[in-house]
Chains A and B, each alone.
Chain A
Amino acid sequence: MKNRLRVLRAEREWSQAALAEQLQVSRQTINAIETGKYDPGLPLAFKIAQLFEQRIEDVFDPGE
């Protein structure tokens, strides 16, 4: 699943660690999501969308 997390984070000039702290997850989790190695569960995906004030489908794209 593709996502715009890195872009959204860069727009706010947040580090991975800063974002991880706000979402109460590890920095490694943020990195794994950004690199597409890991797809977050629904609660975390909603939390991310909420934090960036976006709809969940605007952050995560299931692709083809």
Chain B
Amino acid sequence: MTSSDMKPRGWWQIIKSCSGTELDRRNQFRFSAWTFAWAVSYVAASWTLKADLDLATPLVWFLVAVPNLISIVVVLAYLHFLRMADELLRKIQLEGLALGFAAGVLVTAGYQLLEAAGARQLETDHIILVMIFSWVIGQFLGMWRYR
């Protein structure tokens, strides 16, 4: 067993060793960059539209269109990353997505019962956050299992 065959210890080492091949890292960076661009455009558009600025209609449409167009690129970048990914990395991503989706559905359904019992209404943002958080947790669990 060579030194490079040692089992990674600590989360950072595990994440580093689980990031796939060089191609995966490039595709993951591209996906992250587009996600960041989407987040910035979404926050900027959301903030501008909520502020009482009396904007012209074309500008309103522009502010709505930009994050949505970027979101299409984000989805395409993720699909490209997934299709090109190392097969174990693809499995880890799939398990993460499954956890994210399941958590989103279950939390939404579960909270509806709380709403019926009088809790305040659940916002879409919160469901999205639960799904993203569960997706990330699912990836960490996969990385840990196959480290």
A13 to B121, CA, bound (A): 62
Least Cβ–Cβ distance between B95 and chain A, in angstroms: 12
Which B residues are in CB contact (< 8 Å) with A20? 21
Contact B17 A27 (CB under 8 A): yes
A29 to B88, CA, bound (A): 6
> Which B77-92 residues have a C-beta within 8 angstroms of A?
86-89, 91
Q: Is A50 engaged at the interface, CB distance under 8 Å to the other chain?
A: no
Contact B87 A41 (CB under 8 A): yes
Which B residues are in CB contact (< 8 Å) with A40? 87
Least Cβ–Cβ distance between A7 and chain B, in angstroms: 12
A25 to B87, CA, bound (A): 8
Q: Is A52 engaged at the interface, CB distance under 8 Å to the other chain?
A: no
For chain B, the count of residues having a C-beta within 8 Å of the partner chain is 18
A37 to B144, CA, bound (A): 11
Which B residues are in CB contact (< 8 Å) with A32? 88, 146
Residue-wise, chain A 16-37 has the 8 Å CB interface mask toward B (1 for contact) of: 1100100011111101100001
> Which B82-138 residues have a C-beta within 8 angstroms of A?
86-89, 91
Least Cβ–Cβ distance between A36 and chain B, in angstroms: 11
Least Cβ–Cβ distance between B143 and chain A, in angstroms: 8
Q: A25-B87, A28-B20, A32-B146 are in contact. List 7 more A-B contacts (CB 8 A).
A: A15-B5, A16-B4, A16-B5, A20-B21, A25-B86, A27-B17, A29-B86
User: Which residues of B does A touch, CB under 8 Å?
Assistant: 2, 4-5, 7, 17-21, 24, 86-89, 91, 145-147
The 3 A-B residue pairs with the shortest CB-CB distance, nearest first, are A29-B88, A15-B2, A32-B146
Q: Could you jot down 23 A-B contacts, CB within 8 Å?
A: A15-B5, A16-B2, A16-B4, A16-B5, A17-B5, A20-B21, A25-B21, A25-B86, A26-B19, A26-B20, A26-B21, A26-B88, A26-B89, A27-B17, A28-B18, A28-B88, A28-B146, A28-B147, A37-B145, A38-B91, A38-B146, A41-B87, A44-B87
